[in-house]
Structure 1
Amino acid sequence: MDFHCHLDLYPGARTVSEEASRRNQFTWLVTTSPRAFEATSKVLGHVPRVLITPGLHPELVEQRAGELPQLLKQMEQAIAVGEVGMDGSYRFKSSLPIQRKVFEAVVSRSRELGGRALSIHSRGAVKEVLPILLKNPRFGTAVLHWFSGTLAEVEIAHKIGCWFSLGPAAFASAAGRALATKLPRDRVVPESDGPFATEGGAPIQPWSMARTAELLAVSWGCSESEAVQTLTHNSGRLLTVMGWPGSP
């Protein structure tokens, strides 16, 4: 399972996608813009067990905000949306006002459509993202990708039903390892965030769930098999919530 991956951006994307389809029961291919969603759907839309979703990455919002109407239209036929969200890190902080406008529009549209699963980027902007979700009851299901908020924010996110997708790269820092111990175990699912996320200097592959379980086992103080079992069970539950046709 992989709940956040940029399959279309790997070198040799078709080959990697086909390998992910063979190895994974499910791979969530998040796109970075509406145009990328259209192009990727044409090239990789035939690959089994891969969900391709429309998105508008917050790092690109300043340049591609004009594509927002296209994204809102694409959402009508999608069961999930991603990558969307906000980024308050130094490089992108200046575009927060337009990021907020776009993210608010996406969450509001999700609510109007009866709810969608959203793969949400919130680096340096958790305090911006959570209030928008709170203002839109019945927006759907939030999957907070590579979450890096505070313990208080974890508790708020948990109370409003958020899930947390986590991959090997999240354990590279002491802060990331510490946070992993605090996440609610029944809401954690695996991700790779490849090819952007790396481990040992190499892009993390979409079939990295076993590695995530190995690292989580240390954080959780349990066996690797128990961590795998938890991730598998959680993944099945989330896929059912999402309405994925192949869910258990």
Structure 2
Amino acid sequence: MDFHCHLDLYPGAKAVSEEASRRNEFTWLVTTSPRAYEATSKVLGRLSRVLITPGLHPELVEQRAAELPQLLKLMEQATAVGEVGIDGSYRFKSSLAIQRKVFEAVVERCKELGGKTISIHSRGAAKEVLSILLKNPGFGTAVLHWFSGTLAEMEVAHKMGCWFSLGPGAFASTAGRALALRLPRDRVVPESDGPFANEGGVQVQPWSMNRTAHLLAESWGCSEPEALRTLTDNGRNLLEVMGWPRSQ
């Protein structure tokens, strides 16, 4: 399983996507803009066990904010939403105000639609992301992608019912490994964040779940099969929340 992946952005995207469909029980293809979602759906939309969702990546918001109405419309028929969120890093400081506006609009729309599962980017902005979610009870289910907030923010997110998706790339830093150790084990699901994430200079592939289990086992002090079972059980539980049919 892979709960956050940009299949459409890999070199040889069609072949990689077909391989992911063959290997994985489930792959969540998050898109970076409404236009990307529509194009990707046309090219890859018939793949089994692959969910493609509309999003508007916070790193692109400054250039693509005009696509927000299109995103809000696409959300009406979408099973889930992503990638959306806020990036509070220095590089995107100038667009924070518009990022906030877009994310608030998305969360409010999720609430209006009766709740959606959302894959959320929160680098350097976990506190603000959680605050917006808390202001909109009924928004649905949050999956915090590659969470890098503080332990206190992680506890708040856990109490809110958030999930945490992470992959091999999250273990590259000391801080990432320390955070993985403390993540609530019943709320962790696998992701790759490919093709952006890498491990040892090599792109992480969408079928990296076993590698994530290996790294989690080292952090958790358990066996690799136990960590793999935990990820599998958690993933299936989240799929039930999402309403994703296992038969696909």
Q: State if a TM-score over 0.5 links the two structures.
A: yes
Distance change in 2, residues 1:239/1:123 (3 Å): same
Equivalent position of 2:56 in the other structure = 56
CA–CA distance in structure 2, aligned partners of residues 246 and 92 of structure 1:
38
- Aligned residue identity for 2:183: L
CA–CA distance in structure 2, aligned partners of residues 46 and 203 of structure 1:
25
CA–CA distance in structure 2, aligned partners of residues 39 and 163 of structure 1:
28
Equivalent position of 2:36 in the other structure = 36
CA–CA distance in structure 1, aligned partners of residues 117 and 207 of structure 2:
21
Are positions 1:95 and 2:95 aligned together? yes
Q: Tell me if structure 2 keeps the 8 A contact 1:165–1:190.
A: yes
Q: Which residues of 2 match residues 170-181 of structure 1 at below 5 A?
A: 170-181=170-181
CA–CA distance in structure 1, aligned partners of residues 31 and 85 of structure 2:
12
Equivalent position of 2:105 in the other structure = 105
Q: Tell me if structure 2 keeps the 8 A contact 1:240–1:247.
A: no
After superposition, the C-alpha distances for 1:30-89 in whole angstroms (9 at most, x for unaligned) are 000000000000000011100000000000000000000000000000010000000000
CA–CA distance in structure 2, aligned partners of residues 144 and 247 of structure 1:
26
TM-score scaled by structure 2? 0.99
Equivalent position of 2:78 in the other structure = 78
Equivalent position of 1:158 in the other structure = 158
**SS of the counterpart of 1:165?**
strand
CA–CA distance in structure 1, aligned partners of residues 65 and 189 of structure 2:
30
**SS of the counterpart of 1:181?**
helix
Equivalent position of 2:144 in the other structure = 144
Cα deviation, residue 235, structure 1: 0.3
Cα deviation, residue 128, structure 1: 1.0
- Aligned residue identity for 1:66: A
CA–CA distance in structure 2, aligned partners of residues 201 and 145 of structure 1:
21
Q: Tell me if structure 2 keeps the 8 A contact 1:26–1:50.
A: yes
Cα deviation, residue 136, structure 1: 0.3
Q: Tell me if structure 2 keeps the 8 A contact 1:28–1:51.
A: yes
Moved over 6 A (4+): none
Equivalent position of 2:217 in the other structure = 217
**SS of the counterpart of 2:246?**
coil
Cα deviation, residue 247, structure 1: 6.8
TM-score scaled by structure 1? 0.99
Equivalent position of 1:45 in the other structure = 45
CA–CA distance in structure 2, aligned partners of residues 33 and 86 of structure 1:
14
Provide the identity percentage: 82
RMSD between aligned residues: 0.9
**SS of the counterpart of 1:92?**
helix
Distance change in 2, residues 1:247/1:184 (3 Å): farther
Unmatched segments (≥5 aa) in structure 2? none
CA–CA distance in structure 2, aligned partners of residues 247 and 49 of structure 1:
9
Q: Tell me if structure 2 keeps the 8 A contact 1:147–1:165.
A: yes
Are positions 1:13 and 2:13 aligned together? yes
CA–CA distance in structure 2, aligned partners of residues 8 and 100 of structure 1:
26
CA–CA distance in structure 2, aligned partners of residues 246 and 12 of structure 1:
27
